């Protein structure tokens, strides 16, 4: 989505001009002036594939790298015992009261109805009767593109963009989203930095570049770059934000490139979208053969394809090609819904209700957004009527204000689902879809549930979100503790 500008980049500036240090706005790069010099160093001679080494050096210079461990005998297991909690396990319709849960290293070791004797060396956390629930999962997030305005994405240096994405990744985790599926963008370096402890953020299931056709959604090239020379990627493609593919052979090439870099699944752009200037919603931008070519490659790698599709004919073509998951799907009809349910195809969608969920749009993009808002009720009604396997995602783009609404988007589900149903969707159900990446799963283990042997991702909540889903929209006040992979990243109970 971004490329190296032909003129000097704009000076660092706050993406939220109303925010101040006093208001707690400390995560924005505008309050870290030392990053300007560091980002300049990072960007000197920077290539996308060489970013990880540069990021590691930059984070080390900021004192954010992992502390060195003394050599010697291996340390014993790290244990945390939660007592006196009300447990939402991710699958049940109600809470279990008076529960104790033991975490050992990064796994849930045991769950008991009584308070056990704390193991040696364990930290004991009295939950005070609060709700302990699985970490949230967002199935449609863009780690690199969530919080920077599009003009900045299109002109700023890569060093600044990646540093901004790292800061937003930490804010994503502080909103309680311990796992995200990245549906398009060069997130591989950020994922690696998070996994290695060089940065803080959620688990990332990356697609890599979203694969689109010429004039498809995401093809933001200026018209001056046309005609495209065969086999020669433009500036935007070189960034890893998207891959333009025309013809089955080129689709297969671009698909394999993403898998080579570590994609856990593939994202194909089957039809038009809201934000792209030249891709109307009714347009289908890949042929069935092209879509099927990507499905064959994904199958060869034992993973799956998610197709960006709104219009019925686009969804139908995606189903005929063999995709596993439809992204968005707002304009589907009864026949499509029945077919998706019969074939067990997943729907990964977003509860878009108004311009508050997309930000201000103009021209054709505004008209398309209005069509999506008008269709959202029908979409969820069809999904419930036919029993379609439905996942939650937020799809926030190009705005720090929208990115902060990630949890608010989840609360919109109360329009169609109970609190327990909505939270199950955003935890255990979403984890089922993540698991379809099979051997390409970067985090083997059980996610989205609190049960023995599951990965230790969890949130301690003030109040009962099953009865009051709006608690999810106020993570700063209501999330008292956030744990990911057995490590506590937020703790307001320590004293």
204: tokens are 């990332």
Measure the CA–CA gap between 276 and 330, rounded to whole angstroms.
Answer: 17
Preceding amide of 227 cis, omega within 30: yes
Name the DSSP class of 331: T
pLDDT at 11 over 90: no
Strands 305-309 and 266-269 turn out to be parallel
Q: What's the confidence (pLDDT) of residue 44?
A: 45
Q: What's the confidence (pLDDT) of residue 62?
A: 46
Measure the CA–CA gap between 287 and 289, rounded to whole angstroms.
Answer: 5
Share of the chain above pLDDT 90, in %: 74
Tokens 């210079």 -> residue = 61
Q: What is the pLDDT of residues 194-214, one digit of tens each?
A: 999 999 999 999 999 999 999
pLDDT at 228 over 90: no
At residue 154's C-alpha, the angle toward residues 148 and 159, to 5°, is 70
Measure the CA–CA gap between 358 and 310, rounded to whole angstroms.
Answer: 16
pLDDT at 38 over 90: no
Q: What is the pLDDT of residues 12-35, one digit of tens each?
A: 334 444 444 333 344 444 444 444
Measure the CA–CA gap between 419 and 310, rounded to whole angstroms.
Answer: 27
pLDDT at 5 over 50: no
Q: What is the dihedral of CA 67, 73, 74, 80, to 10 degrees?
A: -80
Closest CA to 182 of 261, 275, 280, 277: 261
Measure the CA–CA gap between 495 and 484, rounded to whole angstroms.
Answer: 21
Report which of residues 150 and 57 the model is more confident about.
Answer: 150
Q: What is the CA radius of gyration of the chain?
A: 22
Sign of CA dihedral 102, 104, 106, 110: negative
Question: Taking the domain 137-440, which CATH number applies?
Answer: 3.20.20.140
pLDDT at 190 over 80: yes
- Average pLDDT estimate for 329-341: 98
Tokens 């447990």 -> residue = 87
* CB 153 within 8 Å of CB 218: no
What does the chain come to in residues?
495
Measure the CA–CA gap between 495 and 491, rounded to whole angstroms.
Answer: 10
Q: What's the confidence (pLDDT) of residue 262?
A: 98
Treating both helix axes as pointing N-terminal to C-terminal, what angle do 34-43 and 158-174 enclose, rounded to 10 degrees?
Answer: 120
- Using CB atoms within 10 Å of the CB of residue 262, give its burial: 0 to 12 exposed, 13 to 18 middle, 19+ buried: middle
Q: What's the confidence (pLDDT) of residue 67?
A: 43
Closest CA to 302 of 168, 441, 97, 161: 441
Q: What's the confidence (pLDDT) of residue 23?
A: 39
Measure the CA–CA gap between 420 and 93, rounded to whole angstroms.
Answer: 5
Q: Where are the domains of the chain?
A: 29-61, 79-134+449-491, 137-440
Q: What's the confidence (pLDDT) of residue 307?
A: 98
Distance of alpha carbon 15 from its chain centroid, rounded? 20
Least confident of 152-156, 246-250, 382-386, 411-415: 152-156
pTM, two decimals, is 0.87
Treating both helix axes as pointing N-terminal to C-terminal, what angle do 34-43 and 51-61 enclose, rounded to 10 degrees?
Answer: 160
Q: What is the pLDDT of residues 58-90, one digit of tens each?
A: 444 444 444 444 445 456 789 999 999 999 999
pLDDT at 252 over 80: yes
**Level-2 CATH architecture, domain 79-134+449-491:** Roll (2.30)
Report which of residues 18 and 473 the model is more confident about.
Answer: 473
Q: Residue 23 CB: number of other CB atoms within 10 A?
A: 9
Reduced DSSP (H G I as helix, E B as strand, rest coil) percent helix, strand, coil of the chain, to 5? 35, 20, 45
pLDDT at 46 over 90: no
Q: What's the confidence (pLDDT) of residue 75?
A: 66
- Average pLDDT estimate for 266-295: 94
pLDDT at 119 over 80: yes
* CB 280 within 8 Å of CB 368: yes
289: tokens are 């053969």
Treating both helix axes as pointing N-terminal to C-terminal, what angle do 288-300 and 312-321 enclose, rounded to 10 degrees?
Answer: 40
pLDDT at 104 over 80: yes
Q: Residue 232 CB: number of other CB atoms within 10 A?
A: 8
* 3-class secondary-structure state, position 246: coil
pLDDT at 125 over 50: yes
The average confidence (pLDDT) of the chain is 87
- Average pLDDT estimate for 94-119: 95
Q: What's the confidence (pLDDT) of residue 495?
A: 61
Share of the chain above pLDDT 70, in %: 84
Q: What's the confidence (pLDDT) of residue 226?
A: 77
Q: What's the confidence (pLDDT) of residue 20?
A: 41
pLDDT at 405 over 50: yes
Measure the CA–CA gap between 110 and 122, rounded to whole angstroms.
Answer: 13
CATH topology of 79-134+449-491 equal to that of 137-440? no
């Amino acid at each position: 989505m971004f490329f190296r500008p032909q003129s000097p980049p704009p000076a660092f500036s706050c993406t939220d001009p109303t925010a101040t240090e006093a208001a707690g706005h400390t995560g924005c790069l505008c309050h870290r002036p030392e990053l300007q010099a560091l980002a300049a160093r990072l960007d000197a001679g920077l290539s996308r594939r060489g970013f990880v080494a540069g990021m590691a050096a930059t984070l080390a210079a900021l004192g954010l790298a992992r502390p060195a461990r003394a050599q010697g005998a291996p340390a014993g297991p790290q244990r945390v015992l939660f007592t006196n909690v009300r447990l939402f396990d991710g699958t049940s319709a109600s809470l279990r009261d008076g529960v104790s849960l033991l975490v050992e290293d990064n796994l849930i070791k045991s769950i008991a109805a009584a308070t056990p004797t704390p193991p040696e060396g364990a930290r004991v956390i009295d939950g005070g009767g609060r709700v302990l629930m699985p970490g949230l999962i967002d199935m449609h997030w863009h780690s690199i593109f969530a919080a920077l305005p599009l003009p900045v994405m299109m002109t700023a240096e890569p060093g600044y963009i990646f540093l901004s994405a790292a800061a937003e990744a930490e804010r994503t985790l502080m909103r309680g989203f311990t796992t995200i599926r990245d549906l398009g963008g060069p997130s591989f370096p950020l994922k690696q930095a998070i996994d290695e402890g060089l940065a803080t953020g959620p688990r990332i299931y990356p697609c890599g570049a979203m694969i689109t056709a010429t004039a498809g959604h995401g093809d933001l090239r200026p018209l001056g770059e046309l005609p495209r020379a065969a086999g020669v990627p433009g500036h935007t493609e070189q960034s890893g934000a998207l891959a333009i593919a025309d013809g089955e052979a080129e689709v297969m090439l671009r698909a394999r490139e993403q898998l080579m870099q570590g994609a856990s699944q593939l994202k194909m752009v089957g039809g038009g979208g809201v934000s792209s200037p030249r891709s109307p919603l009714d347009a289908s931008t890949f042929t069935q053969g092209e879509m099927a070519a990507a499905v064959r490659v994904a199958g060869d790698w034992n993973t799956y394809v998610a197709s960006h599709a709104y219009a019925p004919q686009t969804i139908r073509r995606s189903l005929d090609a063999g995709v596993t998951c439809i992204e968005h799907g707002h304009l589907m009809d009864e026949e499509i819904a029945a077919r998706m349910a019969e074939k067990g195809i997943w729907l990964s969608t977003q509860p878009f209700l108004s311009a508050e969920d997309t930000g201000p749009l103009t021209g054709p993009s505004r008209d398309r957004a209005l069509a999506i808002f008008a269709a959202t009720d029908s979409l969820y009604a069809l999904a419930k009527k036919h029993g379609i396997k439905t996942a939650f995602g937020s799809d926030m783009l190009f705005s720090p204000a929208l990115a902060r609404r990630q949890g608010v988007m989840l609360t919109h589900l109360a329009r169609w689902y109970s609190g327990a149903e909505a939270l199950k969707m955003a935890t255990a159900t979403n984890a089922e879809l993540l698991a379809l990446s099979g051997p390409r799963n970067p985090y083997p283990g059980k996610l989205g549930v609190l049960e023995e042997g599951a990965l230790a991702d969890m949130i301690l909540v003030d109040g009962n979100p099953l009865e009051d889903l709006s608690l999810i929209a106020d993570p700063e006040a209501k999330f008292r503790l956030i744990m990911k992979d057995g490590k506590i990243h937020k703790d307001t109970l320590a004293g």
